[in-house]
Amino acid sequence: MKISRLLFYVLSISFISLSCNRAGEKRYSTWENYGGNKENNHYSSLQQIDTNNVSQLETAWVYHAGDKDTMTQIQVNPIIVGGVLYGVSPKLKLFALDASSGKQLWLFDPVDTAGAKGLGYFSMNVCRGVAYYANGQHDKRIFYSAGSKLFCVDADSGKIIHSFGDNGKIDLHNDLGRDVKNLYVASTTPGTIYKDMIIVGTRVSEDADAAPGHIRAYDVHTGKLCWIFHTIPQPGEDGYESWGDKEAWEHIGGANAWSGFSLDEEKGILFAPIGSASYDFYGGKRLGNDLFANCVVALDALTGKRIWHFQTIHHDVWDRDLPTAPVLVTLTKDGKKIDAIAQLSKTGFIFLFERATGKPLYPINEMNVPAGSELIGEKLSPTQPWPSWPKPIVRQALTEKDLNTLVSDSSYRDIKKRLALYKTGFMFTPPSKEGTVIFPGFDGGSEWGGPAYDPETGILYANASEVPWVLTMVEVKNKVGPAQTNLQAGQDLYKATCMSCHGAQMQGSGNYPPLVNADKKYNEAQFIQLVTTGRRMMPAFAQLSDNEKKAIASFVLNEKDLQKEKFIPTVKPTDERYRMPYTSTGYNKFLTKEGYPAVAPPWGTLNAIDLNTGRLVWKDTLGDYPELKAKGFHTGTENYGGPAVTAGGVLFIAATSDAKIRAFNKRTGQLLWETDLPAAGFATPSIYETDGREYVVVACGGGKLGKRSGDAYVAFALPSK
């Protein structure tokens, strides 16, 4: 009798397990959405490639887009639908490939399309993917953005669908509630489809005159606006009082959902990560906690109405945007199954919330932080949210004991001397004129690649960077006027408009190139066009007058004759709300003389966290500097793009600056396979099956961290039988 009961129990568990596996296989066997699925978990139930055979992977096909340029990138996580791969080239051409061979089926060029007249390449931005909509066999649509335009393209033919919006496109400058036609608005991360709507977020400027980052839903057939959620609340809306200025909604920008969305389709809940408000590093014109900036927001996907929110940073002046959409997870806590979301942050925190209510799964305490600021007019929050569990996945403070000792003695003495001049030691140290260490850096902690989550085990896999930056604030004297020459006006305008990205000496900073030799790349007309339209990471400055652009050109291009001419200001109304008394000297990494991060390694890591317990399962460095690896140092590198995990027991990730893709055992963290890519793969791999063969594909665009640009998509598979 006991044996029979035991046999019945075993058979029952096996049947339940098999049923669950089959359901999971069906649910996660495709890659039809950015991030794998609308849950954004980067998970595939495919098992043909596993821990035993992954070392046998070989290149199945390579597709070259053929349009790379200096500093172009490909950050695309491609989707695969019905044996067709949809991706985007370095210059934002949309294409469809046979997913088994990499053969191009069609190409859509937004610049050449008649419906996109006037859209120049200078206005382009990076793109991270596309969204797919289908209604039966004869209505299949791809939605993607190039510059400020959201395009609707027939998925079978690559032809624009003229019945959508304005002849097949929507200008994302529209429907924001105020005139922003001269401001920078683009969409880098694809929107998400819910029913017959495409829901979109945007990237906007991070300066004082930024456009607002409201979330919008459009009808997929007509392009008409269905709903809008004001991320900067208007009178009568929740959060309006949190800005400390009744007119903030009329002039403050940012608070934008630039990093995409996740969606509980069954419950109809959209989850949006919101960025910081403008201006990034000075909040004297937006006193208060500034809802819904830096919030994860749950919206009714059908109406756009807020269900709940949680603010991860109050009154952000450190550029701590939420960098990725949360992941939908189901975990076990205190013996109960809980539908939840996991929101990662640039600070390295993992915030866990009940999906329907927003209730934290572990206490989030309000920690006292330095609230005094030397910047006149600033008023910082006296507390910041601090999750009690799980522990952060990165270090969050830089002191002398944390400095890099792998370098020469003179180099070490140099970074030690410089550190003594900065304000450091705590993550929420206020911005300062002396220089404040931002650690983890402006690019994380976690970044836009986001984590992977294994619903089979409850383990979250997150890559992270640990590189310090230095934020230095300077006073801005708004003195541009008729008594100046073009050179004098150009210097002042550069300081107020350009320095925060390109540096005080035009040396470049962060992801922004130097302008020291700009005269060898651009003539005056080309430079003014660049300033007017923007390019990739650079926002447009169409709000500047022609004479102001000419003055900046005279300074940057060192045009001696033009510099001597008298500056003629354009008479225009001055709105003091947009005048900032401070700006920064740029996005400057804290590096050694050799160019390595000033902090001791690791500089890039891969982390596995069991969300059922909140405990770290394993941790490893991610990426190498070849010259340091040769000496036995595995340091990790900065990384952009996320991991993908499979039921076959394998985790795939590129992301590193050493231009490799790697496969790890998801249970132990053991490196199982790695191979070189034609350029750094700063993108998330996609995993799919077609004609009975499993593939792993990654975009290899380079173009960041000083690495050469590439134009390839590379697919790997096991050898054909």
| pLDDT tens per residue, range 556-603 | 888 888 888 888 877 555 577 888 999 999 899 999 999 999 999 999
Answer positive or negative: Cα dihedral of 460, 463, 468, 474: negative
Q: Is 592 helix (H, G, I), strand (E, B) or coil?
A: coil
Partners of 437 in the β-ladder? 470
Torsion of Cα atoms, 168 then 171 then 175 then 181, to 10°: -160
| pLDDT tens per residue, range 304-357 | 999 999 999 999 999 999 999 999 999 999 999 999 999 999 999 999 999 999
Side by side, which strands form the sheet with 131-134? 131-134, 140-146, 149-154, 169-171
Distance CA 227, CA 232 (A): 15
User: What contacts 427, CB < 8 A, 6 or more positions away?
Assistant: 347, 396, 397, 439
State the average pLDDT over residues 541-552.
84
Residue 202 one-letter amino acid: T
User: What contacts 359, CB < 8 A, 6 or more positions away?
Assistant: 353
Distance CA 312, CA 320 (A): 9
Residue with tokens 């996320």: 642
Pairing of strands 327-333, 336-344: antiparallel
What pLDDT score does 478 carry? Answer: 66
State the burial class of residue 711 (Cβ atoms within 10 Å of its Cβ: 0-12, 13-18, 19+): buried
Q: What is the CATH number of domain 477-579?
A: 1.10.760.10
Spell out the CATH class of 172-396: mainly beta
Q: Please state the φ and ψ torsions of residue 2, each to the nearest 5 degrees.
A: -65, -40
For residue 480, give both structure tokens.
């541009």
Pairing of strands 709-717, 84-88: unpaired
- Please tell me which residue, 120 or 185, carries the higher pLDDT value: 185
Q: Where are the domains of the chain?
A: 172-396, 477-579
- Identify the DSSP state of 602: P
The neighbour count for residue 526, using CB atoms within 10 Å, is 14
Total-model pTM: 0.91
| pLDDT tens per residue, range 426-460 | 999 999 999 999 999 999 999 999 999 999 999 99
For residue 719, give both structure tokens.
């050898």
Distance CA 558, CA 580 (A): 27
Same fold, 172-396 and 477-579: no
What pLDDT score does 564 carry? Answer: 86
For residue 708, give both structure tokens.
């050469």
Ordered DSSP codes for 353-376: EETTT--BSS-EEEEE-----SST
What pLDDT score does 439 carry? Answer: 98
State the average pLDDT over residues 372-379.
96
Distance CA 589, CA 471 (A): 9
| pLDDT tens per residue, range 205-253 | 988 889 999 999 999 999 999 999 999 999 999 999 999 989 999 999 9
- Integer angstrom CA distances of residue 115 from 162, 167, 408, 645: 8, 6, 58, 40
Q: Please state the φ and ψ torsions of residue 199, each to the nearest 5 degrees.
A: -105, 125
Reduced DSSP (H G I as helix, E B as strand, rest coil) percent helix, strand, coil of the chain, to 5: 15, 30, 55
Answer positive or negative: Cα dihedral of 157, 162, 163, 165: positive
- Identify the DSSP state of 116: G
Pairing of strands 104-108, 650-653: unpaired
For residue 672, give both structure tokens.
């199982």
Size (the chain), residues = 721
Are the CB atoms for 557 and 563 separated by under 8 Å?
Answer: no
| pLDDT tens per residue, range 121-143 | 445 678 999 999 999 889 999 99
Distance CA 385, CA 322 (A): 14
